[in-house]
Amino acid sequence: MLTSFIQHILLVFVILLLIMLAGRLKIAYPIVLCIGGLVLSTMRAMPSIQINPELILLIFLPPLLYEAAWYTSWKDFWRWRRIIFSFAFLIVIVTASMVAVVSHALIPGFTLALGFLLGGIVSPPDAVSATSILKNVKVPKALSSILEGESLLNDASSLIIMRFAMLAVTTGQFVFYKAAGSFVLVIVVGVAMGLLIGLIYYVVHRWLPTTTQIDIVLTLTAPYVMYIMAEQFHGSGVLAVVTGGLFLSSRSHLFLSNRSRIAATDVWATLVFILNGLVFMLIGLELPVIINELGTHSVGEAIKYGVVITVVLIVGRLLCTLGASAFTVFASKYITTASARPGWRGPIVIGWAGMRGVVSLAAALSIPVMMDNGLRFPQRNLILFITFTVILLTLVVQGLTLPWIIRLTNPEDEDHALPIKQQEANVRKHLLHHSLQFLDSYHSEAIQNNNVVNKLREELKELHLLTNREPDSVRDREQYLNISLQLIEHQRQVLKELNKDLATDSEVIRKFYELLDVEEEKLRLQFEIG
C-alpha cells in the first residue's frame, strides 16, 4: 500500500515536470502529457493504473464540466446558441453514425450497436485540449466561444448515444421511436435536475450562515450531487452539471463573498489542473494494459482500425462544419442569425479543433468488463484501443498543426470588436469616472471633513488622470507599479522583523501579510488591464 502511494505521488511530480516542459516548449500540455505517459508506459517506469469502470466518469467528469460551465460566458453562449447546439447535438450524432457504419463494415464481428457505442465514445471533441492550444494562438473570440460552448454540451449527447448503444449491446433490442422519446426525456430531466439542485445550493449559500471554507466545500460537492441525482432519475448527469453550473455562476456575486470567490477560484484551478493532468497521463499509461487484453485482434489490425476511425472523425467533422456554414447562409435569408456569412475560414478552424481527450477516455474505461448475464462485454478492449488511438492521433496531429491552420486560414473576427486590451482600458476608465462621480454626489461632505476619504478621492482622481494621459502614461504607469511593488516588498521585510518581537502575535502578522498579498495582486491586475 505504501509503495503504491509513493508511486502515485511520483506520478504527480512527473505530471508537473511534463507540464513545465510543455510550457518551455510552448506546446499544449495535454499533448506532452499523453506522449509522456506513452513513453513511460513502454519503459515500464510507472505502474499501470486501474480504476473501477463504474467510477471513472463519476470521479473526473462532474468537476471538469462544472468548472468549465462556471467560467463560460452566458452572454456569448446565448449569442451563438444555434451553432453551439447544432455542433453539440446534430454534428455529434452525425459523426457517431458515420463511425458506426464504417466500423460495422470494417471490423469483423463488430455489430452496428457496438459501432454506435464506439461512435458515442469518440465523437465529442475535448475542451481542455482546444483551449490550451488556443491560448498560445491569436484566434477570434467568436470561435473560442463556440468551441467552449460546444464542449459543454457535446459530452451530454455523446454519453446519451453511448447509453442507448450499451443497452442495445446488452439486450439486443433497439426501437427507434422509443429511443428518440427517451433521448428527449433524458435531456429534459437532466436540465430540470440541474436547475433544481442549483436552486437548492443557491438558497443554502445565500440564506444560511456559511463561511469561506463552507462555501468552497459546497461548490466542490455541487457537481457530484447534480450528476448523481440526475443519473438516479435517468436524466443526463452531464446536462445537470452544465445547467446547474451556468445557473450558479451567473449569480455567484449574489451569494458568495469576495473571500469565497477568491479562495474558490484558487481551489478549483488547482483541482481541475491535477485532474486534467492525471487523465491525460492516464491516456498514455493505459496502453500496455489495453494491448495485453486485445485478445484475437493483432496490434497491427487494431492500429489500422484506429487510424481509419480517426480519419472518418476528422473528415466528417470538417464536412459538418463547412455544411453548417453553408446552411447558415441559407437560413439567414429567413431568420436572424448571429452571423449571416460565416465563410469557410472559421469552420475550417473549428473543424480542425476536434481533438479528443478526457471524456472519450473516461467513457471508454467506463464500459463494464462483464455484462449482467455474466458474459464478457464484446470487443471492449478493441474499443479501448481504438479510442486510445483516436485520442493520441487527434491530439498529436491536429493539436500540433492547429496553430499553423489558424495562421494559414487567418479567420476573420465576426464581432469586429476592439482588442481585449482596449476593452479593458475602456472599462477601467469608465469605473474610475463613475467612482469619482459617486463620491462627489453622495459623500461631498465627507470629502471636505474627512482627510482619509479625501485621500481616497485624490487617489482615484490621480489614477483617472494617469489612465487618460497618453504620451507618458505607459512610462508613468510602469514606474508607479515598480515603486509600489518595491514598497510592498519593503513592508514584508518590516513584518518579518516585527514577527521576531514576542509581544506581537503571529496571527496579527499573518493578516497583514495577506493584506499585502491582496494589495500586490490588485496592483498587478490593475496595471495588466491598464
What is the number of other CB atoms lying within 10 angstroms of the CB of residue 402? 23
Instruction: List Cα–Cα distances, 100 to 59, 121, 164, 165, 300, in angstroms.
Output: 28, 11, 13, 10, 21
- Following DSSP, what letter does each residue of 62-101 receive, concatenated? HHHHHHHHHTS-HHHHHHTHHHHHIIIIIIHHHHHHHHHH
Amino acid at 144: S
Helices (H), 342-472: 345-352, 358-365, 380-393, 399-409, 420-442, 444-449, 451-468
Is pTM beyond 0.85? Reply is no
Rounded to 5 degrees, what are φ and ψ at 291? -65, -45
C-alpha cell recorded at residue 434: 463613475
pLDDT at site 194: 95
Q: How far apart (Å, rounded) are the C-alpha atoms in residues 39 and 36?
A: 5
51-261+300-376+391-409: which CATH topology? Na+/H+ antiporter like fold (1.20.1530)
**By the 8 A CB rule, do 490 and 386 touch?**
no
> DSSP secondary-structure letter at 370?
B
pLDDT at site 221: 96
pLDDT at site 241: 93
pLDDT at site 176: 56
pLDDT at site 530: 54
pLDDT at site 311: 94
Instruction: List Cα–Cα distances, 517 to 241, 268, 270, 485, in angstroms.
Output: 33, 20, 19, 11
What is the mean pLDDT for each group of 10 consecutive residues in the chain (530 residues)? 72 88 83 82 64 71 87 80 82 90 90 89 79 71 81 79 79 60 82 95 93 93 95 88 91 84 88 84 74 76 92 92 76 61 79 83 80 78 88 86 85 63 71 83 85 84 69 66 84 84 78 82 70
C-alpha cell recorded at residue 426: 475602456
C-alpha cell recorded at residue 186: 433524458
pLDDT at site 49: 61
Helices (H), 293-367: 299-331, 345-352, 358-365
pLDDT at site 365: 79
Strands (E), 17-174: none
pLDDT at site 170: 72
